[in-house]
Amino acid sequence: MNSETFFPVSISPQQVVEEFVGLLARELSFRRDQQLDDAYLRLKYEPGLLSHKGAFNHVGLSAYATRLSPLVEAIRARHAPRLLDSGSGCGSESILAALLGANVTGIDVVPLRTAYAASRIPFFADLRQGPLDLRFRTANVIALLRDSPGYDLIWANEAISHIHPAEEFFSAAWQGLSPGGLLIIADANALNPVARWRATRIRGGKNWYVHRQCRLLDDVPHDEVAEERLFTCRTLPRLLRRAGFRVRRPEMHGFLGSFFLPLSWQRHRRLGKILASVQHGARRIPGIRDFGSSMTVVAEKGERP
């Protein structure tokens, strides 16, 4: 059991994520006061989780907490697990994992993202009143996993729809995990019509495609990334099993969604929580649960097929 955590062990994983979003609101306020760049965080979290003034979006917060709860549970079940955040972006989940006591490496193929993520560490180290076991690197996740095995946990949030080829990533993740290690994937669910519509809008067309993202070093070619290659909550577990993983039933979330509901409803303390409860209950209804807008899939390293 992991004891080196910023959050009380008595609170649930859902509450851990909710408290962490409160810390994100404090960080945004701090960055504004200090005239630091907050554009990336605003783009990612406003208005889906927070208003500009820091008011919670209860529906979005409920979905986000459900999405991250399996990650929190996995970290808590281990002492100082070695964790790789694949496609760490602005670094929020890497920071959460480090606050929970994990030894975290966050990687991304875009140097500007890793630099931005690293710039956030001092704020959270000050909150914790001590250093975080956290670093960010610009790297190709498939190559890194093949060269640096021994991870207890691999987290991929909104990344599997971009890592190319995904099938090679699954194989590299199996190789890079310690026996009994977990690969936890959170991403959009292609069975959901709104998720498909959003992906089509981002791509500018119906079908996903591959393009080159950025140069990691001057002497290597650009990395290839997929543009919104969505998987369904049925196909993703099947592909993971082929790669040698034992897959738990996917956790589904995001049934109501901010796309349809007025923001005033979602931010209202009482109504927002009622709507969040309805959304939470939909996860357990057969015939409906598979159509959540996003999913979290937990896969344990097993024997090669």
Q: Which of 227-236, 239-248, 296-305 has the lowest mean pLDDT?
A: 296-305
For CA atoms 17, 117, 150, 248, the dihedral sign is positive
> What is the pTM assigned to this prediction?
0.93
At 258, list the tokens: 């901010």
pLDDT tens by residue, 152-202: 999 999 999 999 999 999 999 999 999 999 999 999 999 999 899 999 999
What pLDDT is stored for residue 212 in this prediction? 75
Query: pLDDT grade, residue 221 (50/70/90)?
Result: very low
Half-sphere exposure of 262 (CA within 13 A, CB side): 4
Where is mean pLDDT largest: 162-166, 206-210, 251-255? Answer: 162-166
Q: What is the mean predicted confidence (pLDDT) over 5-16?
A: 93
pLDDT at residue 2 is higher than 60: no
Q: What is the mean predicted confidence (pLDDT) over 39-47?
A: 90
Q: What is the mean predicted confidence (pLDDT) over 138-161?
A: 94
What pLDDT is stored for residue 211 in this prediction? 82
What pLDDT is stored for residue 305 in this prediction? 63
- Higher-confidence residue of 210 and 305: namely 210
pLDDT tens by residue, 83-92: 999 999 999 9
pLDDT tens by residue, 73-120: 999 999 999 999 999 999 999 999 999 999 999 999 888 999 999 999
- Higher-confidence residue of 247 and 2: namely 247
Query: pLDDT grade, residue 290 (50/70/90)?
Result: very high
Give me the residues paired with residue 135 across strands.
Answer: 105
Distance of alpha carbon 185 from alpha carbon 190, whole angstroms: 14
Query: pLDDT grade, residue 220 (50/70/90)?
Result: very low
Distance of alpha carbon 249 from alpha carbon 233, whole angstroms: 9
Q: What is the mean predicted confidence (pLDDT) over 142-152?
A: 92
| Structural domains in the chain, sorted by start | 13-298 (3.40.50.150)
Q: What is the mean predicted confidence (pLDDT) over 263-277?
A: 82
pLDDT tens by residue, 48-71: 899 888 889 888 898 899 999 999
At 102, list the tokens: 């994990």
Backbone torsions φ then ψ of 184, nearest 5 degrees: -120, 120
- Higher-confidence residue of 300 and 210: namely 300
